[in-house]
Amino acid sequence: MFGQRTRIPRLALAGTVTVGLVAALAACSSGGSSASGGSSTGGEPVEITFQSWVPNIDQAVDAFNASHDDIEVKLETITAGPDGGYAKMLSAVQAGNPADVVQLGYDAIPDFLINDALEDITEHVGDAEDDFVPWQWQTGVFNDKVYAVPQASGPLGQFYRKDIFDSLGLAYPTTWDEYYEAAKVIHASDPNKYITAFAFNQAPWLIGLSQQAGASWFTAEDDAWTVSIDDEATLKTAQFWQKLIDEGLVKIEADFSSEWNADIQNGNVATWISGSWADAILRGTAPDTAGKWAVGPMPQWNAGDSVSATWAGGSASAVLKGSDHPAEAAEFALWLNSDPESVNILTNVGAGWPAVADTSEITALQDAPEVFEFYGGQDIWDVFAESDKSVDTSWKWPPLSSTLFSSLTDNVKSAVDGGTPLADAFTKTQDDMVAALEDKGISVN
C-alpha cells in the first residue's frame, strides 16, 4: 500500500551517489595536496612548496621552474601573513607538514624564531651575504645564523600632486614645518582638500614616521628587551600629527579604502608618504591623473638632514623547520631574491625595492618610461635609491610584532575616535607590548 517495494533502492542509490562523489573528491584532493616523497635519486625533480601572498609572484616561480630541471616549485597563494597566513604556517610546522619556503615580513622573523619554526640555512646561503644591502640581510640573521633571505623593502618617499602644489604657489616641503604650512594652504584653498590622509589603520606607516624621527622602539641588551615605544622621538611625531588633526588639516581615513581611492583620483588628498611600491598603486588607482604627480624625499625634522625610514621593513623568504628538502628550498629562496631575472620580475609586479646591493642589472629600475611619464618624466627611482641608503639601520624587530601592530592600530583608532591625545595611544601601546612580552615569559628591562 505504500509501494515501498519499488522504492527500496532510493537510500542505496543515495549511498552509491555519495560514495561516488566522495571517491571523486578523494582523487581531487590527493591530486591537489603536496606530494613530498623525498626521492631525489631518480629523474624526478624534487618538489617544494612556496607560500606567498604577493600578487603575480607566480611569474617568478614559473621562471625558476623553467630554468631548473631538478627542482619543481609549487606556489600556494595564501592570505597575507598578518591576516592569518603566519598562524597557519606556524601550525603546519607544529603538525609536521609545513610548506618549504614561505614569504615572511622582516618583522615576523623573530616571531617565527621564538616558535622555533625556521630552518638554519647558513650553510646553503651564507656566502651570498655580500650580494645584499647590509641592513636588509641582517634582518634574517640571529646569533650569526642565517634564517632568511631578504627580498624587498619599502623605503619611504613622498608622492605628491605637483600640479596642486604649483597652482597654490607652494614649494616642495623639505621639512615638517614646511609640511605643516603647506597643509594649511592646501586646506584653505578648498575645504574638501587635504595635504594627506591620516591612515589610522596603518601601523607600518605610523611606525615608519616614528622611525624617521629617530625612534628605536626595541633594543636587545643582556638577554632582555628594552621597549621604548613612548620615547621622545615618537611623542614628538605624535604631537606633530595631533596638531594637524586638531586643526582639521588632514583627512582621517583608512588608506587603500574605496574612499581613499576616490580621494586620490579627485585630488582631495594631495600627498602620500609611502613605499617605493606605491607607484604602481597610484598608477592603477588614478590613471586619469597621469603627469600630475611627482616624488620627493620625506620631509625632515632638521633642515638639511636626509633621514629616511621604511614601511615596516620589508619581506623575506625563509625555510620552515621540518622541510623535507631544506637545501633545495634554500636554493630557491636565494635564486628568487637575487637572480637578476627574478628580481626584475619581482620589481615589476610591485614586490618592493629589491634587497640586492647591485641594482644595475635590474632593468626595471633603469629606465622606465611608462612609469616616469606618470610622474611628469621624473626618474622616481633616484628618490627611492637615495631613500634606501638613508634608512636608519639600527631598527630591530622584537618577537610579537603582530601584537605591536594590532595594539598600535587599536589604540590609535580609539584615540582618533574618542578625541584623546595621540601620544597616549603610543604610551598605551608601550604598556600593552611590555605586558604581552612578559606574558610570554620574555624578559623586559
Partner 1 sequence: MVRSRRQPLGSVIAVNAVLVLAAAYFLLPLLWVVIAATKSPGDLFASFGLWFSDSPQALENLSRLFTQDGGIFGTWVLNSVLYSAVGAFVAMVLSAACGYAIAKYVFRGRETLFSVILGGVLVPATVIALPLYFLLNAAGLTGTYWAVLLPSMVSPFGVYLARIQANAAVPDEVIEAARIDGAGDLRIFGSIATRMMVPALVTIFLFQFVTIWNNYLLPLVMLNDTKTFPITLGLTLWNSQTQRDPMFYQLVVTGSAVSAILLVALMVSLQRFWKADLTAGATKG
Partner 2 sequence: MSTTSDRTAAGRASAPPLPGPSGPSAPAAGRRGRTRRQSRAALWILILPFTVMFAAFFVAPIVFALVQSLFTVRSSGLGFGPPETAFVFLENYATALGSASFVASLGRLLLFSLIEVPLMVVTSLALALLLESGRARFPRFFRVLYFAPYGVPGVIAALLWGFLYIPATSPVLQGLDAIGLSLSPLSSGGVLFAIANIALWGFAGYNMFILIAALNAIPSELYEAARIDGASEWSVTWNIKLPLVRPSIILVTVFTIIGTLQLFVEPLVLRPLTTAISSDFTPNLAAYNQSFAQGNPNLAAAMAVIVALVGFVFSFGFLRLVNRKGNRAW
Interface residues with partner 2 (CB under 8 A) are: 1-2, 82-84, 86-87, 90, 110-111, 113-116, 142-143, 200-201, 220, 223-225, 252, 254, 256-259, 261-263, 398-400, 402-403, 405-406, 409-410, 413-414, 416-418, 436-437, 439-443
Q: Is there binding between residue 256 and partner 1 (CB under 8 A)?
A: yes
Select the span of 183-191, 258-266, 303-311, 372-380 touching partner 1 (CB under 8 A): 258-266
Q: What is the dihedral of CA 61, 63, 65, 71, to 10 degrees?
A: -80
Q: Give the Cα separation of 225 and 216 in Å (integer).
A: 12
Q: Is there binding between residue 78 and partner 1 (CB under 8 A)?
A: yes
Site for partner 1 in 319-358 (CB under 8 A): 350
Nearest distance in Å: CB 166, partner 2: 26
Q: Is there binding between residue 35 and partner 1 (CB under 8 A)?
A: no
Q: Residue 144: which of partner 1, partner 2, none does it interact with, CB under 5 to 8 A by kind?
A: none
Exactly one of 185, 262, 371, 434 binds partner 1 (CB under 8 A); that residue is 262
Exactly one of 95, 143, 370, 419 binds partner 1 (CB under 8 A); that residue is 95
Q: Residue 14: which of partner 2, partner 1, none does it interact with, CB under 5 to 8 A by kind?
A: partner 1
Nearest distance in Å: CB 71, partner 2: 30
Q: Residue 288: which of partner 1, partner 2, none does it interact with, CB under 5 to 8 A by kind?
A: partner 1
The answer for residues whose C-beta is within 8 angstroms of residue 341's C-beta and 6 or more apart is: 63, 67
Q: Give the Cα separation of 329 and 194 in Å (integer).
A: 47
Nearer to partner 1, 240 or 375 (CB): 375
Nearer to partner 2, 36 or 261 (CB): 261
Of 173, 310, 294, 194, whose CA–CA distance to 244 is shortest?
194
Nearer to partner 2, 110 or 350 (CB): 110
Nearest distance in Å: CB 331, partner 1: 22
Q: Residue 7: which of partner 1, partner 2, none does it interact with, CB under 5 to 8 A by kind?
A: partner 1
Nearest distance in Å: CB 284, partner 1: 4
List, in sequence order, every residue forming a beta bridge with 103; answer none if it has no partner: 317
Q: Is there binding between residue 28 and partner 1 (CB under 8 A)?
A: yes
Nearer to partner 1, 8 or 222 (CB): 8
Exactly one of 16, 67, 91, 445 binds partner 1 (CB under 8 A); that residue is 91
Nearest distance in Å: CB 116, partner 1: 17
Q: Is there binding between residue 66 and partner 1 (CB under 8 A)?
A: no
Nearest distance in Å: CB 114, partner 1: 19
Q: Residue 225: which of partner 2, partner 1, none does it interact with, CB under 5 to 8 A by kind?
A: partner 2
Q: Give the Cα separation of 240 and 8 in Å (integer).
A: 79
Nearer to partner 1, 225 or 332 (CB): 332
Give the binding site for partner 1 (CB under 8 A).
2, 4-5, 7-8, 10-12, 14-15, 17-18, 21-22, 25-26, 28-30, 32-34, 51, 53-56, 58, 76-80, 83-84, 88, 91-92, 94-95, 97, 99, 256, 258-259, 261-262, 265-266, 277, 280-281, 284-288, 350
